[in-house]
Chain A
């Protein structure tokens, strides 16, 4: 027998495209491993630090994760429709700048303008992808740059200080000891979950992501579905921006930089498949919490933030890898 058949591997990867089936459902293994991973994380940090398990710190983790959770819910919907949105971080920056600048003049206008702009950013993404059939990766990567550039141009790169107190109370206050961002994130995720489960739109997202051609031939308006998920993603990024400036008390044009990776990571850890057609908005919550807990624990251990970036990247890549392995094989 020859062992010089390396090149044949490619062919056989093809031939075995309908590959070996595991007897235990891979989906189940996956969920179990996410839960196990989170548990391990909590145990390790609780052992290594004295403060990790303190209720105040746990609340802190929730609070810190809530921004990512909101974006990740939108990202989950996009990914379920077999898309990707790399522009979310820039949308956070742009919309929060606009809102921060308008708040002093007119409270309501500030909020509405931010929301409208966020949805508009998403619509532009969606229209370019659905109508012009441009690749989602390139469009949103380009928009990542454009929206960020717009935010920087808007105030010539300067931050805006002094966010309205009422605004801060709404988006970064608390109700009975529970931070409003946490409530907001939970509500958003729950709503998205209900949409996915019980509405026509939710099923259409799964259908478009699961088999776009079949969805189209069943008479589903696939362009509309795609445009809508990107618009929702823009909207949720805007809310995340509101929380961000509410917490900081200032808006920076570079606010939200790098959020896209965190959101994709949370979505994938939470069970969204980059192959489309699968995902769970509630899972995105779990994913965001996982990343949040890890970053919090590393901070407590005095790991420099540069290394936290490395750790986050590793976790996200591992999660995507796990997704590849478990989903592709069937």
Chain B
């Protein structure tokens, strides 16, 4: 394959100069220059809150910049005032938070707003087109499924397909793989390479360093709304890249935090016997011991989230029993699980864990009313003290307990959710994609936190689609496929990503 040399001075498709943007109280971008050439993939990296999505939103006309210019090849300087305008200029964006209509089906979402391009084309015909677009990404996703019934990964795939269906010369991908498993990611990469060779310009945002090496020609790093560096990807080492993103200190820590020593599992904390849920889970048996981190790998739709939700009482199970500390418990709703010392840190923070308009302190208190208001009245002082302690210990930024949680970066929001459950006194933690969309620095901190929990004798179940995360964190690993636990690996010493993938896809069935 021909990779255009980053140094070739071909005329840029797109040139952003001096883009600045402030939100109430935050200067999100402080004069950013960015350019994109035809036939290249330009990666954009940086910590949570560095301003990556803001830059994309400005390019896509969602938000106007305060100052700065946008210049397009063949068009000249433009003021893009809304997404419709951006689309007409050939700019597409796969946004970080899929904005789909849950009531419509997959095909309808993909072609939403483009009906004039299809005229009165019969339904079956545009469903066929939708299927074609989805093929490399998720061949088995039914185009007639209602989007509201889909999981995060599937929604992400639909969002990608929608942008691709609209065409365009410049396409931005804002963390497109945050919910995807390796198989889908590979499909996406193949697609991106195709777009690239047909001369389009791609902007690729991700927190995952290996992905950036795999797909990009150039990489630009933002920190605090400024460009730290812009280099040809092949010329930067991973260490340098981490340095640029998170600062020197962290790079060293990251290097020295090798895989943890295998902990000898303690006593039984959680035992599942024959858990089944119609069509989703089949006869799951699993034991989780104190002091261990148990990873759950599998493809999208393999039932991992479903299992966690069943254990937590968020969804109904049809059969099977859950034992906590050896005692059988009837967990019908999350409140019961909480009372039994179980915590669920769900995959979709925004929809499932946070009340966006409430401040940090109140979000922290959501699972802790028993503690803070035994009489009905809140012990506000006590609660304030506790959250402030967590803010210090976990380095939550900003340091104020009174900010609305929706203004925090993903990593900081996640820390607040974890703090909530730590305070609840939970001993069994179900983490569903704990570092989805979280930057390298915060991810490291969250991993450290999880290890500390295990050391303190908690039992952790960790679902992750990022296999390196599973390998780095877990003492034991289970693999799910089609709603079954098909494999349990007790000794992870020579487990590899490859092998895990093979188990997950069913290529290998016995170790």
Show the binding face of A for B, using Cβ within 8 Å: 1-2, 4-5, 7-12, 14-21, 23-25, 198-201, 203-204, 206-207, 210-211, 213-221, 277-278
- Smallest CB-CB A-B distances: 6 pairs: A11-B113, A219-B338, A210-B355, A200-B373, A218-B366, A8-B113
B367 lies within 8 A of chain A by Cβ = yes
Does B100 lie within 8 Å of A219, measured CB to CB? Answer: no
Q: Known contacts being A4-B116, A203-B362, A216-B314, is A12 close to B83, with CB within 8 Å? A: yes
Mask: chain B, 341-382; 1 = CB below 8 Å from A; 0 = not: 000101000011111111000100111010011001110100
Contacts A21-B23, A277-B355 aside, 12 further interface pairs with beta carbons under 8 A come to: A14-B101, A15-B83, A18-B62, A21-B63, A23-B23, A199-B377, A203-B366, A206-B357, A210-B358, A217-B312, A218-B420, A221-B333
For the complex, what is the distance from the CA of A1 to the CA of B81, rounded to whole Å? 14
B334 lies within 8 A of chain A by Cβ = yes
Q: How far is the CB of A4 from chain B (nearest CB, A)?
A: 6
Residue of chain B at shortest CB distance from A10: B113
Q: Which residues of A contact B367 (CB under 8 A)?
A: 218-219
Does A206 lie within 8 Å of B358, measured CB to CB? Answer: yes
Does B63 lie within 8 Å of A200, measured CB to CB? Answer: no
Does A214 lie within 8 Å of B99, measured CB to CB? Answer: no
Q: Which residues of A contact B352 (CB under 8 A)?
A: 213-214, 217
Count of chain B residues with a beta carbon within 8 Å of a chain A beta carbon: 55
Does A211 lie within 8 Å of B355, measured CB to CB? Answer: yes
Does A217 lie within 8 Å of B24, measured CB to CB? Answer: no
Q: Known contacts being A207-B355, A210-B357, is A20 close to B113, with CB within 8 Å? A: no
Q: Which residues of A contact B57 (CB under 8 A)?
A: 18
Does B84 lie within 8 Å of A8, measured CB to CB? Answer: yes
Does B334 lie within 8 Å of A218, measured CB to CB? Answer: yes
Does B84 lie within 8 Å of A9, measured CB to CB? Answer: yes
Q: Which residues of B contact A203 (CB under 8 A)?
A: 358, 362, 365-366, 369, 378
Q: Which residues of A contact B373 (CB under 8 A)?
A: 199-200
Does B334 lie within 8 Å of A219, measured CB to CB? Answer: yes
Q: How far is the CB of B312 from chain A (nearest CB, A)?
A: 7
For the complex, what is the distance from the CA of A200 to the CA of B380, rounded to whole Å? 10
**Within the complex, which residue of B62, B335, B339, B357 is in contact with A277, where a contact is CB–CB below 8 Å?**
B357
Q: Which residues of A contact B356 (CB under 8 A)?
A: 210-211
Mask: chain B, 66-103; 1 = CB below 8 Å from A; 0 = not: 00000000000000001110011000010101011100
Q: How far is the CB of B254 from chain A (nearest CB, A)?
A: 31
Task: Enumerate B118-174 residues with CB–CB distance to A below 8 Å.
Answer: none
B5 lies within 8 A of chain A by Cβ = no
Q: How far is the CB of B82 from chain A (nearest CB, A)?
A: 6
Does B354 lie within 8 Å of A211, measured CB to CB? Answer: yes
Task: Enumerate B40-68 residues with CB–CB distance to A below 8 Å.
Answer: 57, 60, 62-64
Residue of chain A at shortest CB distance from B365: A203
B385 lies within 8 A of chain A by Cβ = no
B337 lies within 8 A of chain A by Cβ = yes
For the complex, what is the distance from the CA of A23 to the CA of B23, rounded to whole Å? 6
For A10, A215, A218, the residue with the greatest tally of chain B CB atoms inside 10 Å of its CB is: A218
Q: How far is the CB of B91 from chain A (nearest CB, A)?
A: 12
Q: How far is the CB of A83 from chain B (nearest CB, A)?
A: 16
B10 lies within 8 A of chain A by Cβ = no
For B24, B87, B337, B366, the residue with the greatest tally of chain A CB atoms inside 10 Å of its CB is: B366
B114 lies within 8 A of chain A by Cβ = yes
Q: Which residues of B contact A210 (CB under 8 A)?
A: 355-358
Q: Which residues of B contact A221 (CB under 8 A)?
A: 333, 335
For the complex, what is the distance from the CA of A214 to the CA of B358, rounded to whole Å? 12
For A1, A7, A15, A24, the residue with the greatest tally of chain B CB atoms inside 10 Å of its CB is: A15
